[in-house]
Structure 1
Amino acid sequence: MTEPISLTGRTMIMSGGSRGIGLAIARRAAADGANITLIAKTDLPDPRLPGTIHTAAAELERAGGTVLTVVGDIRFDDQVERAVEQTVDRFGGIDIVVNNASAIDLSPTDVLPMKKYDLMQDINCRGSFLLAKTCLPALRKSAAAERNPHILTLSPPINLNPLWAGASLGYTIAKYGMSLTTLGLAHELRPDGIAVNSLWPRTTIASAAVRNVLGGGAMIARSRTPDICADAAYAVLTSPSADTTGNFFLDEDVLTGIGITDFEKYRVLPGDSELQADLFLDA
């Protein structure tokens, strides 16, 4: 990657972002003075999950960003359209789309409720497609104004090892649908100068999903903090859109590419304990 481009004055719209990796990415952008729209459902506190869209907005404003909160659900076209319209009205355009919202259920096929299957498809795959699609007019204007537009989706490399589909088919379909959106949009939007990439952590990240779904406190202890994804996302989003598109990045590889090779500061617990590889990555 070449010399980074500051996010000062740039406008980002993100699905989710009330906590975890999304919040960390938004906080890193806010430190540059970016404008940030959060479209998320978490309006009121949930005892199972930390933070709301409002606590996230306050944190981002303290970090230096200007924030618009839109309480909404990316499963519904009109709510996404409203968020995009409000963002353009407030900030004058959109330069960055981050598809962060995601639902997870690792149940095998015979016990996965179809309601959960539909939820994962609607949020992960359809929601990412919808938010990107709705932002395209604004992103094309950003490209014409040479404002370095990017779409970044939190989804994995497409790994056809049957282990992953065989272990949790519903979730795998939903996440790979997000990645196919990256693959297709990168090709489709290359002539427009709009970068489209995916980012995935090499290790598990200390998040509500890891704590509540993947393995609890023991897994958290073998994880890294969301900051590693935030720093990698920042490196991608500040790279020239004409040169950085169509990639399925791993956070470690992005940081290594800009000269960062010491990842100790990202460990939840310091030491030499083995970190847990994330889903969809072969050992």
Structure 2
Amino acid sequence: MSSDILSISGTGLSAEIHPLGAELWALRDADGRDLLWNGNAAFWTGRAPILFPIVGTVAGDTYRVGGASYALPRHGFARRRPFSLVTTQADGVTLRLTSDDATRAVYPFDFVLDLSFKIDGARLDVAANLTNTGDGPLPASFGYHPAFRWPLPYGAARADHAITFDVDEMAPIFRPDREGLLVSAERPSQLGARVLQLDDAAFTDGALVFTSLAGASLSFGAGNGPKLKISYPDTPHLGLWSVPGAPFVCVEPWQGYADPAGFTGEIWDKPGIVRLAPGARRRWRMGVELVGSEDAGDS
């Protein structure tokens, strides 16, 4: 497996990307400290899966289009599919997933999905470019699902970490029910207008789902120490998730989200679905920047 992993680096970060699912496999600072979760099965085997062509769960793991029904697992199939290598350089790489008979059996549309990773200094930029290569319209959602170390490796306690949004996020928050479908939720007591003070209680009932974002970035870290600034200029939705007691927190920029409880429409009517005309292209970007790293002490 390790021989398949692609490595890129810059002056402030290095990264590894696995062709299976075009998954970010490791992210390290200039001193080699891990910023990304390692997939320990004791908590969760994922690291940073790509979510496509749906985000979250469709009711009964089945969606409808054109009078037919198709089965799709939670978060779609891209994370389980091998991507081919398009380009590679010391500081960047692009991988591609193309529709084939296996994808058409569960998602009857033609597409090309490119994932590009590039490091510039202490910033990793990821871009997903989806192209409709078919003759008809294409319905799609897309999401990032990176899990970051909690605590970050700079000496602060886990309880001192927080997520701070760039603007007040006051829209209603949703939670998944037992079937993974979204229901409205009380605003967590740990979440003010801008700051979520992280603790296990925030995730006892599962993910926090923001279906209407006001801003386009947030920071994750503790006190005045180094933090990760995560930007998501193209995604209008966001999930925050962890497992109580786990040493990671997922910050998930999304285009789309799980079916609301009671949804029975076709995929075209599913909240968050985009409709791409033949030949059209859609891009979703995510940036992860290590800020304040000059203050990092020995971990």
Task: Indicate whether the TM-score tops 0.5.
Answer: no
Say which structure is richer in helix: 1
Structure with bigger strand share is 2
Q: TM-score, normalised by structure 1?
A: 0.28
